[in-house]
Amino acid sequence: MRLATCCCLTRLLVFNVFLIAIVFGFATVGLAQENQSVGLKTADGVLFVWNRPGLHFTLSIKGKDIVPANDPDHIFFTVDGVILQIQSLPISNFAPDAKRDKLDDKSILAAHRDWESKFLETELLKSKLTVKSSNEKLNNSEVLVWQFDLPAAFRNPDASGQVYVTMVAGDFLILLNSVLSPSVSEAQARKFLLSTISTLKLSAEPFDIKKLQEELRKGP
The verdict on residue 46 lying in a domain is yes
Note down pLDDT in tens along the chain; length 220 residues: 333 334 444 433 333 333 344 444 333 333 445 567 889 999 999 999 999 999 999 999 999 999 987 665 678 899 999 999 999 999 999 999 999 999 999 999 999 999 999 999 999 899 999 999 999 999 899 999 999 999 999 999 999 999 999 999 999 999 999 999 999 999 999 999 999 999 999 999 999 998 999 999 887 7
Q: Tell me the residue length of the chain.
A: 220
At 70 the pLDDT is 61
Q: Is 188 exposed, middle or buried (0-12, 13-18, 19+ CB in 10 A)?
A: middle
Q: Is residue 6 part of a domain?
A: no
Whether residue 44 is contained in a domain is answered as yes
Q: Does residue 2 lie in a domain region?
A: no
Which stretch of DSSP H or E encloses residue 38?
Answer: strand 36-42
pLDDT of residue 29: 39
CB 86 within 8 A of CB 176: yes
Residue 3 belongs to a domain: no
Grouping H, G, I as helix, E, B as strand and the rest as coil, residue 191 is: helix
Classify residue 69: in a domain, yes or no.
yes
Q: Is residue 180 part of a domain?
A: yes
Instruction: Provide the residue type at 185 as one letter.
Output: S
Q: Does the residue 31 lie in any domain?
A: yes
Model pLDDT, residue 73? 62
Note whether 51 and 43 are within 8 A (CB): no
- Name the strands in the sheet holding 45-52, side by side, starting at the edge strand that comes first in the sequence: 19-23, 36-42, 45-52, 55-62, 201-202
- Please count the CA atoms within 13 angstroms of the CA of 60 that sit on its side-chain side: 11
The pLDDT of residue 145: 98
Distance CA 77, CA 61 (A): 9
Domain that holds residue 26: 11-218
Domain count, the chain: 1
